[in-house]
């Protein structure tokens, strides 16, 4: 998690603080707005822990550890993974559910064939690789959860929960641009730097719109008309931050986003009008940086 946050261009300490705050907020929302929340919450924790039992991942672990140590590692990591869920369940005095989630997590550590063997997940993004193709296949399970949260938000008339789903989808799409592609993936484009950036931005806006469409429709049609402007504002800001992420990536390529730039992006989240200054600045820097790659 530390590495992913750092690669995304956010100071890890701040990133962890934001994640913890979001985790507590979502957990409180689930318990506040749903019946049988403790069982649903427990199921979410166990469902997410299944990712630790993927075939490819466990083949790697078996190469790294002797059999006895391997099973200890699997039990320990499953236990640690569900610890935030069990801790919050204890906070809500759901002690039996907390005990059940740990017992099930330990049991799941002995079933390491969970995964998709030789299955290619189809995506609508194949014609324009590579960010959304790779990113979506790694995070496809996130979107059913976000769509479910949107459905719950509509069912309990909780607009804030729906907005959280929208923000979560935007963050997921932005994360697809945290990975630096090989130089050849840029050089192969027969485009000028300006055309290349416009191509990347148009592709990101189109593909992210496809993933955001169910959430945006739900918020627009099932909540009062007075909230439509707020939804439109969050959509606009989300698309702007996707653009900033792309421009920030190519303004420093092949290096990672520096701390000063990451801090500027963080400040723009707290004060969105700053985007009017950051977007043109990053755009000019990205054009200058790409000149040496696309014009050679």
DSSP output for 160-215: HHHHHHHHHHHHHHHHTTSSPPPHHHHHTS-S-HHHHHHHHHHHHHHHHHHHHHHH
Per-residue pLDDT of the chain (296 residues; tens, 9 = 90+): 787 777 666 677 887 888 888 888 888 888 887 767 888 788 888 877 877 887 788 888 888 999 889 889 999 999 999 999 999 999 988 888 899 998 988 888 887 655 444 455 566 676 666 788 778 877 777 888 889 888 888 888 888 888 888 988 998 888 888 777 777 777 777 788 888 889 899 989 999 999 999 999 999 988 888 889 999 999 999 999 899 888 888 887 766 665 556 666 667 777 778 888 888 888 888 888 888 777 65
Instruction: Confirm whether 22 is domain-assigned.
Output: no
Domain stops at, among 84, 119, 154: 119
Same domain, 141 and 74: no
Burial of 267 (0-12, 13-18, 19+ CB in 10 A): exposed
C-alpha dihedral sign at 187, 193, 194, 200: positive
Rounded to an integer, what distance in angstroms lies between the CA atom of residue 67 and that of residue 71?
6
Same domain, 98 and 176: no
What does the pLDDT read at residue 10?
A: 67
pTM of the complete model beyond 0.85: no
3-state SS, residue 114: coil
Instruction: Confirm whether 250 is domain-assigned.
Output: yes
Domain stops at, among 119, 137, 154: 119
Contact 106, 78 (CB under 8 A): yes
Instruction: Confirm whether 20 is domain-assigned.
Output: no
Rounded to an integer, what distance in angstroms lies between the CA atom of residue 195 and that of residue 193?
6
Instruction: Confirm whether 8 is domain-assigned.
Output: no
Q: Where are the alpha helices (DSSP H) in 50-141?
A: 55-64, 67-91, 95-108, 131-139
Instruction: Confirm whether 278 is domain-assigned.
Output: yes
What does the pLDDT read at residue 115?
A: 47
Same domain, 69 and 108: yes
Instruction: Confirm whether 91 is domain-assigned.
Output: yes
Residue with tokens 């300490």, as numbered in its chain: 13
Same domain, 74 and 178: no
Instruction: Confirm whether 4 is domain-assigned.
Output: no
Same domain, 178 and 84: no
Q: Which residue, among 20, 48, 11, 43, has the nearest Cα to 30 in the 3D structure?
A: 43
What does the pLDDT read at residue 189?
A: 74
Rounded to an integer, what distance in angstroms lies between the CA atom of residue 239 and that of residue 254?
24
Domain stops at, among 119, 145, 169: 119
Residue 143 belongs to domain spanning: 120-294
Same domain, 287 and 188: yes
Burial of 271 (0-12, 13-18, 19+ CB in 10 A): exposed
Same domain, 135 and 165: yes
Same domain, 56 and 156: no
Q: Please, what's the b/e burial string for 61-80 (b: 16 or more CB within 10 A of its CB; e: otherwise)?
A: beeeeeeeebeeebbeebbe
For the chain, the domain total comes to 2
Same domain, 270 and 208: yes
Rounded to an integer, what distance in angstroms lies between the CA atom of residue 159 and that of residue 139?
24
Rounded to an integer, what distance in angstroms lies between the CA atom of residue 187 and that of residue 110?
46
What does the pLDDT read at residue 188?
A: 75
Instruction: Kindly state the tokens that stand for 218.
Output: 């739900």
Same domain, 152 and 245: yes
Same domain, 87 and 224: no
What does the pLDDT read at residue 88?
A: 92
Instruction: Confirm whether 238 is domain-assigned.
Output: yes
Q: Please, what's the b/e burial string for 209-246 (b: 16 or more CB within 10 A of its CB; e: otherwise)?
A: eebbebbbebbeebbeeeeeeebeebbebbbbbbbbbb
Same domain, 110 and 194: no
């Amino acid at each position: 998690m530390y590495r992913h946050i750092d690669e995304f261009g956010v100071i890890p300490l701040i990133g962890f603080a934001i994640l913890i705050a979001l985790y507590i907020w979502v957990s409180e929302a689930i318990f506040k707005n749903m019946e049988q929340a403790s069982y649903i919450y427990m199921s979410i924790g166990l469902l997410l822990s299944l990712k630790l039992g993927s075939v490819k991942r466990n083949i790697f672990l078996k190469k790294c550890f002797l059999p006895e140590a391997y099973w200890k590692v699997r039990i320990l990591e499953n236990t640690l993974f569900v610890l935030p869920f069990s801790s919050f369940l204890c906070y809500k005095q759901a002690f039996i559910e907390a005990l059940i989630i740990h017992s099930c997590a330990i049991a799941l550590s002995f079933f390491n064939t969970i995964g998709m063997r030789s299955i290619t997940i189809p995506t609508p993004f194949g014609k324009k690789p590579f960010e959304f193709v790779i990113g979506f296949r790694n995070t496809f399970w996130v979107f059913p959860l976000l769509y479910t949260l949107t459905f719950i938000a509509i069912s309990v008339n909780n607009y804030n929960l729906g907005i959280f789903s929208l923000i979560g989808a935007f963050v997921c799409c932005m994360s697809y641009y945290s990975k630096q592609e090989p130089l050849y993936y840029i050089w192969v484009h027969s485009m000028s730097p300006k055309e290349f950036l416009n191509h990347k931005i148009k592709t990101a806006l189109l593909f992210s719109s496809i993933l955001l469409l169910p959430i945006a429709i739900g918020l627009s049609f099932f909540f009062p008309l007075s909230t439509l402007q707020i939804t439109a504002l969050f959509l606009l800001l989300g698309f702007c931050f996707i653009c900033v992420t792309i421009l920030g990536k190519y303004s420093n390529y092949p290096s990672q986003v520096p701390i000063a730039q990451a801090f500027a992006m963080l400040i723009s989240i707290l004060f969105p009008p700053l985007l009017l200054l950051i977007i043109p600045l990053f755009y000019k820097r990205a054009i200058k940086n790409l000149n040496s790659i696309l014009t050679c």
